Each structure stands twice: as structure tokens, then as C-alpha cells.
């Protein structure tokens, strides 16, 4: 199941967690948990919304809200695992 | 009636079992030890409090600063000792709480473990259950907060789940004391053996079963009591460092090396082990849980079916952008016009007042043209910015901006941009400086450089405000459509440049990522209000510093040395030197100079127009033909970024060469595009 997530991400078959959950036929909350576990084990990493230099940025107030977009990318370890 | 001494003796591990222990008063009650396990916030403490009341003992887990709570409950002549385990998400030794929970279950071997699950999101807690079932203690599953699940339209069938799991499953609403007695009965049915406890545990994939068997054979002699050998072997496969240390401490060197070799070879076995657990959870949930088709999640799905659709979603995004500009013009246009009139009257009044006081002509000119004409004009942006940021804040707060990101992502793929590139580019709509800085999150040097080079093509808020003002002055009612087209032009230019750079200069890597879209929400007016206020404040601070200085410099260059005769001023000399270039775009030299001053800060275009032309909103339409007006706006949108952005481009790319290439590309692009617009437009 987890390997399928990595390989589907690697091939670019899916763009969102909703698509991924549908493709794997699992509920979205369960998929979120799997994604979190893959991140905890170093297979995925969450793209940070902001680095420093946010002063003066018109969108900086939006950065730390729950309603923001989260992007998960494959790490090198994740890419290796996806290729297996 | 029971002493703390007995609780402590048990939970601190000095006694393996306390079943059938006699109480100090000699009543001879059996003690059944029950561990309460579960994630934080699943209502575990509520159950514990309902059951134990005044008998609770609070201390710390031995050697830890984590709170330990124990308490008693009398049920059918049995003394039930409840031990509240720390809230944990799994038993993977990732935290001190997880280590405490699993060490307790393994080393103290309670009679029963009660796994408490939030019935509204059962998937979240079932991973913990999957791990608990691998330990020696029998498990009772409690589905707490059934009322919350029911309110959310989630239908759970405990009997079906019980049949699927092979363990007792108890529905509960602990806050209403519903299901507690049933849970106690279930515990006792395990203890007295009346329940046929046959758990269906998750298994690992066949690919790793042989590896697991090999590990079991290898470590059997080196696993200390009371650790179960198969569990230890499984944890080794999962990469559990603590368990590995336990085994390696006892194993000889050759066995240690053999274990390491197996684990190195099967580094990713954890994916199969954990993946099989998730597949098991998926099967259980599908069997016994029915999720609603209506409500917030349903609404999000229905909206997303349109808003993230390749065609309709793109169309919706274009419509939303058009709506933002339409609203900006409709609401803020008249207010901005009124402020401009007020400003003109104020400038005239100030000049008259200063003349009446006998001040020199240059001072009167400085105040009316330099200060009020420059900074004052920029301040009339405020209504435009307020409406623009309010609409942006509204879209962000409802969760739509994430969908906009999703829709535009398809175009990012075409450019071969890394998935992380979208974040910095999105920030560019606020300000290009953090957009360039944000590229730091991209590990790939090529993707990072490509993002840095493209970020200035995202129109920032200041740029949008400038073209909004100019568009309104030059194109009247058609301004909304013109500005909308200009934004589209920038994004198309960004895509085209990205494509070219990716294909021929910085060969890109495939984008590998997924997005987690938030649910839609009703917007919070306070959040939006604060967002608008902070941005207006930042804008005013900028107007009072960078723009003020630039306005004064422009005024000085336009006033001297000919005491107010602009045609003989320093700036006129500079303007005439570049006039041939302006003629190709149909722009007189003051317009070109105004555009060039946007290199300091984008707003300076307006400030310079204010200094050089005074009421430029009346002057420019008379001065410029339609194609020239359009060329002006195109140049403004595609021109090189402000100096602050260029500075961070150098800082982040670490290369003068790439900074020069980035700036040069935009300079060429802006010149070519605006010349083409004017020349072609003039032919039509």
C-alpha cells in the first residue's frame, strides 16, 4: 500500500491526495495518515510554505493557517523506494 | 479500600501479575489489570474518570516525567485496576509516550488492553490497534464518541467490526456514560474466557515473510523475556532502533553483522510491514463503516469536481481572476478617483498657502509636485489595494487558492518545474522578494535556479495596483478586461520562458509530488480584515520610505538646474538620450523615465507620473494612442523586477551571471513585447 503511494507519485499518475485515495480505494483520512507516516520515515517531505524573508510579503499571514495548501514531495529515499 | 502500594507495585514492574491478589482488608477480590490505550483526544481520560472516580492515583511513570494515572473500579465482584497509558499514535518508539505504552504492555502484560478509538475518524486510531494486536495482551476495542460519528453521518456497525476483527467491539459515548457497563462486561468476557478471542491480525506481504522467518530464527536466542520473538523480529524489520539495541546487546558479533546485513538489504521492508497494516485497516473500515455523502466533505468533493476539473477548473480560475479585477474596479475605482480629485485640490491649496507665506517657488513646487504629487498619488492606491487584498484574503480563507494552485499545476508540469516551485511562485503575487527567497526549499539546483529566474514574472501586488490605476486612466470601462489580459500575458510569458529554459538551458527533472487540498470553509471576516489591514500598513510604510525618497530624487532631477523648466532638467537630458527607444513603443520620454523608475519600487511609476505630469490620469489619455497605452502597460508588467528582488536573485542564485541573465531576459522580453504591441497595434 505504502509502496504503491510512492510509485504512483513517482510516475505522476496522481496530483492530489483525493485522487490517490480514490486510486487506492481507501478513505481520505487513512491516506492522510499514510502520507504522514511516509513523511515521518523520510520517504516524503512537506514543502515549506515560507522561508525567511516573508516581511513585506502580502501573503505571509496566510502561511500558517490550516487552510493552506500542503505539498508533499518524494525524498531521495522515497524515489529509491519507488523505483524498487 | 485498596492501597496505592498495590497499584505502584504493579505498574512499576515489581510484580508481573496481580490477578487473584488479596486486598489488605482480606476481602480476597480478584484484581484484573486493564490498560487503557489510545490516541490523544479520543476520550480515554473521560472513560478513565468515569470508571475510577475518587480511587485515582496520579504519579509519574518510573524514570519518566510523563504522568501516570491508575485507579480502581469494582465490577461483578472483581477489582479492575485501570492503568491510563499515555496517548500514542503507534507503538513505534518514536516518542517517550510510545515507549512507555509498549513497554508497559509487554513487560507488565495486563490482563486486557482496551483500545479506545474516535468513532468519527476510526481510520486514525486503527493503526494503533493493528500494533496492539501483535502484543501478547488481549484487546477490547471501544468505539467512543459514537454520538459525534452519528452527527457527522458516519454509520458504524460494531457487530460487523467485531466479526471482522475477532475481538470484542463496544460502541460508547463516554461523556453520557453509555457503553461503559458493556465495556466492563467485554473485559470480563475475555478474562473468564467466555469470549472466543481469535484476533485477525494484519500480516506482512509474502515477499518479506521469508525474511521475517529468517530473522526470527536468527534472534530467538538473544531476545530477553518477556519480549515476544516474532514481534521483536518484526520491529527489527521496521527499523526500530530501540529493539535493535536490545537484541544487539545480547547477540554475538557474527549474529549482529548478519542482522545488519539483512536489515540493510531490506531497508524498505517497513513499507511492506506498515503498508500491510494500512491495507488491513482499509478492509476493516470498508466492512463496518459507512461514510456520508453529504456535509462538508461531500460539499468539498462536489465543488472540487468542477473547480479542479482540467477544463472547467481552468475556466473557473480565469473567471475568478476576472471577478477579482472587476470587483476591484467597480468598488475601488470611484473611491480612488475621488481621492485623486481631493489630492489635486490639496496640492493646489498647499501651493497657494506656501506662496501666500512667501516661501520660495522651489519649496512650493517640492511640496505640491514632489511630495503630494509623488507620495500622495501613490497613497490613492489604498482603495484598490484594500479591495484587491480583501478578495485575495477571501479566496484564501475559503480554501479556493489551493484549488487555483492545483489547476495551474498542470502548466507547471509542462515547464518541468519541481512541485515545490509552485509555492514560491504563488507567493510572488504578494511580493517577488519572498518568492525568490522561497526557492530555497527546492533541493534540485536546476529547479531552484529556474524558479528564481521565473519568479519576477509573477505580477506582484504593487505591480497590479500600478496597472490598475493606469488601466483605469487609459482604458476606462475596458480596464478590467485589459488588466485581466495583462495578468494572463505575464503567466503565459512565464510558461513560455519556463518551457524554453527547461528545454534548452536547464533541462528539468520530472515533478514528483502530491497536494493535500484543504476543505472549503466559510470565510472569517476578522481574518480577512486583519489581512487587509496588515498589507495596507506595510504599503503605507513603504510609501513613507522608499517611495518618498524616490519621489524627492525624481522631483530634484526634474526641477534642477533650470528652476522648474522640466524640458531643461537633468531628467530631460536622460529622457532624451533614451527617447529613440521610447518612440519604438510610441512613448514620450517622461513616460519611459517613469517606467524606468519602477526599478526602485514598482509604485514609483505612478509617483513619477505624479511628479512629472501632475494630474497624469487626465494627461496620459490625451498623450498616448491606444497601442502606445497598451505598450506602456505591457512594458510595466514585463519589465525587470525591483531592485530588492534583483538583490535576492543574486543572493539566492549565488551568481552574477544568472542574475544578469534573468534581468536581461526580462528587459529584452519587455522591450520586444511592448514594441510589438505598439507596432502591430498601429498597423490595425
pLDDT tens column, A25-54: 887 778 888 888 888 888 888 765 544 445
Contacting residues of B for A51, CB less than 8 Å apart: 434, 437-438, 440-441
pLDDT tier at B28, thresholds 50, 70, 90: low
Contacting residues of A for B393, CB less than 8 Å apart: 62
Q: Residue B138: name the closest of B250, B35, B270 by CA.
A: B35
Q: What is the mean pLDDT of residues B435-457?
A: 80
Which chain A residues in 39-78 lie under 8 Å from chain B, judged by CB atoms? 40-41, 43, 47-54, 56-62, 65-74
Q: What angle do CA B662, B668, B670 make, to 5 degrees?
A: 100
Q: What is the pLDDT of residue B171?
A: 94
CATH class of B4-191: alpha beta
- The CB-side HSE value for B3 (13 A sphere, CA atoms) comes to 9
Cell of B616: 497624469
Q: What is the pLDDT of residue A63?
A: 52
- Per residue in B362-421, pLDDT (tens digit) is 888 788 777 787 777 777 777 877 887 788 778 877 888 778 877 877 677 677 665 556
Record: contact B511-A49, CB cut-off 8 A: no
Q: What is the mean pLDDT of residues B76-99?
A: 84
pLDDT at B291 over 50: yes
pLDDT tier at B65, thresholds 50, 70, 90: low
Rounded CA separation B239/B334 (Å): 66
DSSP states of B655-675 as a string?
Answer: -HHHHHHHHHHHHHHHHHHHH
pLDDT at B33 over 80: yes
For B121, which of A25, A29, A61 is closest by C-beta distance?
A: A29
Better pLDDT: B562 or B187: B187
Domain count within chain A:
1
Domain that holds residue A15: 2-83
Q: Which class for B101: exposed (0-12), middle (13-18), buried (19 or more C-beta within 10 A)?
A: buried
Q: For residues A25-52, b (16+ Cβ closer than 10 Å) or e, as one string?
A: ebbbbbbbbbbebbbebebbbbbebbbe
Q: Which SS3 state, helix, strand or coil, does residue B160 take?
A: helix
- Per residue in B152-179, pLDDT (tens digit) is 788 889 999 999 999 999 999 988 889 9
- Per residue in B634-647, pLDDT (tens digit) is 999 999 988 878 88
Contacting residues of A for B461, CB less than 8 Å apart: 58
B401 has a chain A CB within 8 A of its CB = yes
Which chain B residues in 330-349 lie under 8 Å from chain A, judged by CB atoms? none
Q: What is the mean pLDDT of residues B558-572?
A: 77
Q: What is the pLDDT of residue A55?
A: 53
* pTM tops 0.90: no
pLDDT at B518 over 50: yes
CATH, residue A35 = 1.10.10
Q: Residue B636: name the closest of B409, B470, B502 by CA.
A: B470
Contacting residues of B for A43, CB less than 8 Å apart: 271
Rounded CA separation B652/B437 (Å): 7
Q: What is the pLDDT of residue B21?
A: 40
pLDDT at A61 over 60: no
- Å from B476 to nearest chain A CA? 27
Q: What is the pLDDT of residue B273?
A: 86
pLDDT at B509 over 90: no
Q: Do B584 and B675 form a contact (C-beta atoms < 8 A)? A: yes
Q: What percent of chain B is predicted at pLDDT more than 90?
A: 18
Record: contact B406-A74, CB cut-off 8 A: no
B461 has a chain A CB within 8 A of its CB = yes
Nearest residue on chain B to A44, alpha-carbon basis: B513
Q: What is the pLDDT of residue A13?
A: 73
What is the overall mean pLDDT for chain A? 75
For B433, which of A4, A35, A53 is closest by C-beta distance?
A: A53
Nearest residue on chain A to B392, alpha-carbon basis: A59
Q: Which of B7-11, B325-329, B466-470, B506-510 has the highest mean pLDDT?
A: B466-470
pLDDT at B331 over 70: yes
Q: What is the pLDDT of residue B15?
A: 35
- Å from B638 to nearest chain A CA? 20
Contacting residues of A for B39, CB less than 8 Å apart: none
pLDDT tier at B472, thresholds 50, 70, 90: confident
Q: What is the mean pLDDT of residues B282-311?
A: 77
Record: contact A20-B422, CB cut-off 8 A: no
Better pLDDT: A19 or A6: A6
CB atoms within 10 A of CB B85: 26
Which chain B residues in 482-511 lie under 8 Å from chain A, judged by CB atoms? 510-511
Contacting residues of B for A40, CB less than 8 Å apart: 94
CATH class of B206-290: mainly alpha
Rounded CA separation B347/B349 (Å): 5
Q: What is the mean pLDDT of residues B8-20?
A: 38
Q: Residue B364: name the closest of B375, B377, B353 by CA.
A: B353
Mutate: best of B127, B301, B516, B543, partner A, most A CBs <10 A = B516
Q: What is the pLDDT of residue B129?
A: 92
Q: What is the pLDDT of residue B26?
A: 40
Q: What is the pLDDT of residue B679?
A: 95
Query: Domain ranges in chain B?
Result: 4-191, 206-290, 313-683
Q: What is the pLDDT of residue B6?
A: 35
Q: What is the pLDDT of residue B456?
A: 93
Q: Do B447 and B418 form a contact (C-beta atoms < 8 A)? A: yes
Amino acid at each position: 500500500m505504502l509502496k504503491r503511494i510512492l510509485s504512483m507519485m513517482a510516475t505522476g499518475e496522481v496530483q492530489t491526495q483525493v485522487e490517490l485515495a480514490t486510486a487506492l480505494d481507501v478513505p481520505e483520512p487513512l491516506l492522510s495518515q499514510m502520507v504522514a507516516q511516509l513523511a515521518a520515515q523520510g520517504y516524503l517531505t512537506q514543502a515549506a510554505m515560507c522561508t525567511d524573508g516573508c516581511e513585506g510579503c502580502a501573503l505571509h499571514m496566510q502561511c500558517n493557517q490550516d487552510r493552506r495548501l500542503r505539498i508533499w514531495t518524494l525524498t531521495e529515499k522515497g524515489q529509491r523506494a519507488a523505483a524498487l | 479500600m485498596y492501597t496505592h502500594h498495590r497499584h505502584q507495585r504493579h505498574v512499576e514492574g515489581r510484580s508481573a501479575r496481580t490477578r487473584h491478589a488479596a486486598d489488605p482488608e482480606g476481602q480476597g477480590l480478584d484484581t484484573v489489570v486493564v490498560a487503557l490505550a489510545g490516541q490523544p483526544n479520543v476520550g480515554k481520560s473521560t472513560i478513565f474518570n468515569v470508571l475510577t472516580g475518587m480511587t485515582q492515583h496520579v504519579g509519574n511513570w518510573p524514570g519518566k516525567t510523563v504522568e501516570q494515572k491508575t485507579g480502581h473500579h469494582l465490577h461483578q465482584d472483581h477489582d479492575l485496576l485501570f492503568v491510563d497509558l499515555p496517548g500514542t499514535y503507534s507503538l513505534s518508539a518514536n516518542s517517550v509516550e510510545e515507549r512507555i505504552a509498549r513497554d508497559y504492555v509487554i513487560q507488565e502484560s495486563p490482563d486486557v488492553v482496551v483500545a479506545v478509538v474516535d468513532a468519527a475518524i476510526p481510520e486514525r486510531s486503527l493503526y494503533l490497534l493493528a500494533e496492539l494486536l501483535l502484543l501478547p495482551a488481549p484487546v477490547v476495542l471501544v468505539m467512543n464518541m459514537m454520538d459525534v460519528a452519528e452527527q457527522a453521518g458516519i454509520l458504524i456497525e460494531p457487530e460487523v467490526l467485531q466479526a471482522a476483527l475477532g475481538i470484542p467491539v463496544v460502541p460508547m459515548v463516554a461523556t453520557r456514560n453509555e457503553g461503559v457497563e458493556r465495556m466492563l462486561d467485554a473485559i470480563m468476557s475475555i478474562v473468564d474466557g467466555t469470549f472466543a478471542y481469535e484476533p485477525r491480525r494484519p500480516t506482512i506481504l509474502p515477499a518479506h515473510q521469508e525474511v521475517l522467518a529468517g530473522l526470527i530464527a536468527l534472534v530467538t536466542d538473544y531476545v530477553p523475556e518477556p519480549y515476544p520473538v516474532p514481534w521483536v523480529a518484526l520491529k527489527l524489520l521496521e527499523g526500530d532502533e530501540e529493539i535493535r539495541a536490545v537484541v544487539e546487546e545480547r547477540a554475538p558479533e557474527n549474529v549482529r553483522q548478519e542482522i545488519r546485513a539483512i536489515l540493510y538489504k531490506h531497508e524498505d521492508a517497513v513499507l511492506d510491514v506498515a503498508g500491510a497494516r494500512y491495507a488491513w485497516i482499509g478492509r476493516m473500515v470498508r466492512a463496518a463503516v459507512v461514510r456520508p455523502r453529504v456535509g462538508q466533505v461531500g460539499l468539498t468533493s462536489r465543488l472540487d469536481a468542477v473547480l479542479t476539473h482540467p477544463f472547467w477548473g481552468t475556466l473557473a480560475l480565469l473567471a475568478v481572476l476576472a471577478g477579482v479585477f472587476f470587483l476591484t474596479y467597480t468598488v475601488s475605482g470611484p473611491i480612488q478617483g475621488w481621492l485623486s480629485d481631493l489630492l489635486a485640490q490639496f496640492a493646489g491649496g498647499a501651493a497657494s498657502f506656501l506662496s501666500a507665506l512667501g516661501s520660495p517657488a522651489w519649496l512650493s513646487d517640492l511640496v505640491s509636485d514632489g511630495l503630494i504629487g509623488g507620495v500622495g498619488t501613490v497613497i490613492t492606491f489604498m482603495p484598490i489595494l484594500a479591495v484587491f487584498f480583501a478578495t485575495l484574503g477571501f479566496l484564501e480563507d475559503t480554501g479556493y487558492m489551493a484549488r487555483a494552485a492545483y489547476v495551474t499545476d498542470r502548466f507547471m508540469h509542462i515547464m518541468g518545474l519541481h512541485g515545490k516551485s509552485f509555492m514560491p511562485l504563488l507567493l510572488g503575487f504578494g511580493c517577488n522578494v519572498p518568492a525568490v527567497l522561497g526557492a530555497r526549499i527546492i533541493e534540485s539546483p536546476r529547479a531552484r535556479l529556474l524558479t528564481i529566474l521565473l519568479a519576477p514574472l509573477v505580477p506582484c501586488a504593487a505591480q497590479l495596483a500600478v496597472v490598475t490605476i493606469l488601466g483605469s486612466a487609459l482604458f476606462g470601462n475596458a480596464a478590467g478586461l485589459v488588466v485581466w489580459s495583462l495578468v494572463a500575458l505575464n503567466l503565459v510569458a512565464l510558461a513560455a520562458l519556463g518551457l524554453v529554459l527547461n528545454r534548452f538551458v536547464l533541462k528539468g527533472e520530472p515533478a514528483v509530488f502530491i497536494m493535500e487540498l484543504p476543505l472549503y470553509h466559510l470565510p472569517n471576516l476578522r481574518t480577512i480584515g486583519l489581512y487587509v489591514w496588515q498589507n495596507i500598513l506595510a504599503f503605507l510604510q513603504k510609501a513613507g520610505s522608499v517611495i518618498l525618497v524616490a519621489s524627492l530624487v525624481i522631483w530634484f532631477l526634474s526641477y534642477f538646474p533650470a528652476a522648474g523648466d522640466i524640458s531643461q532638467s537633468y531628467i530631460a537630458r536622460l529622457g532624451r538620450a533614451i527617447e529613440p527607444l521610447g518612440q519604438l513603443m510610441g512613448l514620450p520620454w517622461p513616460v519611459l523615465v517613469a517606467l524606468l523608475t519602477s526599478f526602485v519600487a514598482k509604485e514609483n511609476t505612478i509617483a513619477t507620473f505624479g511628479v512629472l505630469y501632475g494630474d497624469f490620469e487626465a494627461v496620459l489619455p490625451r498623450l498616448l494612442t491606444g497601442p502606445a497605452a497598451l505598450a506602456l502597460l505591457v512594458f510595466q508588467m514585463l519589465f525587470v523586477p525591483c531592485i530588492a528582488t534583483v538583490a535576492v536573485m543574486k543572493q539566492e542564485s549565488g551568481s552574477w551571471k544568472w542574475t544578469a541573465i534573468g534581468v536581461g531576459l526580462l528587459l529584452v522580453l519587455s522591450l520586444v513585447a511592448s514594441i510589438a504591441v505598439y507596432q502591430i497595434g498601429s498597423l490595425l
